[in-house]
Chains A and B, each alone.
Chain A
Amino acid sequence: MRPLFVTWEYPPYKAGGIAAHCEDLATTMADQGHEPVVLTYGEEEEVEYRDSVEIHRVPASQSASNTLSWAMNLGHQMEKKAIELAKEQDFDLVHAHDWMAVPGATGIKNTLSLPMVFTVHSTQKGRDGIDSDYQRTIHNLEWYGTYEAEEVITVGREFSEEVKHNYEVPGDKVNYIPNGVNLEKFDNHSENLNKSKYALDWEQIVLFVGRMYPQKGPGHLIEAMPEIIGNNPEAKFVMCGSGATEHYKNIAKSQVGEKVHFPGYVSDHELLSLMKRAEMTVAPSVYEPFGIVPLEAAACETPTVGSYTGGMKDTIIHEYTGLHTYPADPASIAHEVERALSDPGWSDWMGENARERVEDNFRWEQISAWTTGIYSDALK
């Protein structure tokens, strides 16, 4: 099959998880004999062939006043490129990823008469609400995507219900396919962490990875830090991610001083080393449709202490692959982190279980096969 992926970000450009998702999915599909073509944003027009995937980048206007107008403009540029590509090759369908791809994908669907599949990775309502005109317009675009698509894919089981409810999508049109982990990437990586950059010899790294925004809950972890340090002085918190870093850094430093470290930009390689070396990762998200961190940590045999919400209800099995906390509850976070820290043997056992579970349930080969199955439904 030849799907046309529409995504605003594709590696090396990436801000969130959509880029990695699209790359892993497209690459695996190509391995399985399909011919995915990716249409994405680039500073200039270019084409690249990587891992048997054809990637086309198109620029968008630099004059857009906000992300919404920018996405509209990018959509129009992508559609022109799709029309040009379709003169040379036939696409089976267009596959859009999140609201920023909806303007481009719906235009392509209509002009080229292609079926459309729409993957919803998160919702505006869940991210930061639908109170302003701007936010309501994004919500409206998300609805439009689910309305126009023949099939909708969501990345979380509980999240499927949210999508059906938010956009009044008929149940039989919504499919749950989890995100996956590219285990090879983790296995080929050789850990060479210079631990002294992050922690003292005797300290245990408790790692947070994620954008520093309220949705990801870094503030709740910071609130839990003094109690954890009080009972487990060996804990050292390492907080990786972009966003409102300075804001959270100031609060955390005022609470626990040297026991927390914000390394700033960390390369992918270094991040894997940190994940492998850490005692655990903590994912204190308040809202998390899927949440890739627990699976990436699992690939590194590291357990995750994560909120019992959204995708993490499925990606963490309490007391088997990690520990669940109540969402937005610092006392609960402190309690579970301390349990894991005080029994390293048990933590290691949970890390091993987590890895095994990822191998069995969250491989891209499987996810790609499910996705092309949905494509067949969309083509009916």
Chain B
Amino acid sequence: MKILLLSKELRDGEAVSEYVKNLAEYLVSENNEVTIVSFDDGSYYSIDDKVNVNRFPLNFEGDNLYNWSMMMNNEMKGRVVEETEVEEFDVIHANDWTTVPGAISLSKQFETAFALTLHSTENERGFGSEESEVISELEWQGTYEADKVLVNRDETRNSVLFDLDTPEEKLHMIDPMKEGWQHRILNTYKEVITDEKQVKN
């Protein structure tokens, strides 16, 4: 299987990055082909060299994280289309709202299955900024467009169910602190690909 993982950053010690790295390393050990595409903030990361990593700079600073992320996603799409064999991916797996716009566009354009992990929701984070509403809308849109929505813990699961109204059948709670979590994620990929094939047939 060929998997594209999208992440806002890739940095040793940072929670989402560690999740992405651990997942990627497991997937390649199971003979899958994995590409991680993320913004390059210059920080250090270490990863199994069987994982393809493509980090890109961004010449746009933005006055807040929402505006920055929207342009970061534009750059990310360019990088994926130009430098990976994008048509061959079986699954595009985005992490948090910061990579949702890119994942939606790419999955629509190349008709690829789309998995989204929400590591937390804007509601959980307190809805504290002027951009919270548009961010929450992106989270909603991500869960709406995704074939599978993954969460790491009960609090996020509840927020996704009740704040974002995600149908329970596409939601999976997979705790990355528990053994075998990466394998369970691989299984959800397989499920969604099987579903897609059935739909296409």
Say whether, besides A63-B134, A103-B74, A76 and B101 are in contact (CB < 8 Å): yes
Q: Find the A residue at minimum CB distance from B68.
A: A137
Contacting A at CB under 8 A, from B47-106, are 59-64, 66-67, 70-71, 73-75, 77-78, 81-82, 101, 104-106
Question: What A residues does B104 contact at CB under 8 A?
Answer: 76, 80
Mark contacts of A67-85 with chain B using CB atoms, 8 A cut-off: 1 yes-contact digit, 0 otherwise.
0110011011001100110
Say whether, besides A76-B101, A112-B109, A140-B60, A65 and B130 are in contact (CB < 8 Å): yes
B183, CB-defined interface residue at 8 Å: no
A107 touches B134 (CB 8 A): no
A13, CB-defined interface residue at 8 Å: no
| Consensus secondary structure, chain B interface | helix
How many residue pairs at the A-B interface have CB separations less than 8 Å? 83
- Nearest Cβ distance between residue B128 and chain A, in whole angstroms? 13
Number of B positions contacting A (CB below 8 A): 28
B59 touches A72 (CB 8 A): no
Rounded to whole angstroms, the CA-CA distance of A258 and B137 in the bound complex is 52
- Nearest Cβ distance between residue A112 and chain B, in whole angstroms? 7
Q: Which of the residues B61, B71, B137 comes within 8 Å of A103, measured between beta carbons?
A: B71
B195, CB-defined interface residue at 8 Å: no
Rounded to whole angstroms, the CA-CA distance of A119 and B77 in the bound complex is 23
Q: Find the A residue at minimum CB distance from B75.
A: A110
B63 touches A111 (CB 8 A): no
Q: Find the B residue at minimum CB distance from A140.
A: B60
Rounded to whole angstroms, the CA-CA distance of A111 and B106 in the bound complex is 7
Question: What A residues does B155 contact at CB under 8 A?
Answer: none
Task: List 28 A-B residue pairs with CB atoms under 8 Å apart, sorted by A's residue number.
Answer: A63-B137, A64-B133, A65-B130, A65-B131, A65-B133, A68-B63, A68-B67, A69-B134, A72-B67, A72-B71, A73-B70, A80-B104, A80-B105, A83-B109, A103-B71, A107-B73, A107-B74, A107-B77, A107-B101, A110-B74, A110-B75, A111-B77, A111-B81, A111-B106, A133-B63, A140-B62, A141-B60, A144-B60
- Given A63-B133, A107-B105, 18 new contacts (CB under 8 A): A61-B133, A63-B134, A64-B133, A65-B131, A68-B63, A69-B66, A69-B134, A72-B66, A73-B137, A79-B105, A83-B109, A103-B71, A109-B78, A110-B78, A110-B81, A111-B105, A137-B61, A144-B60
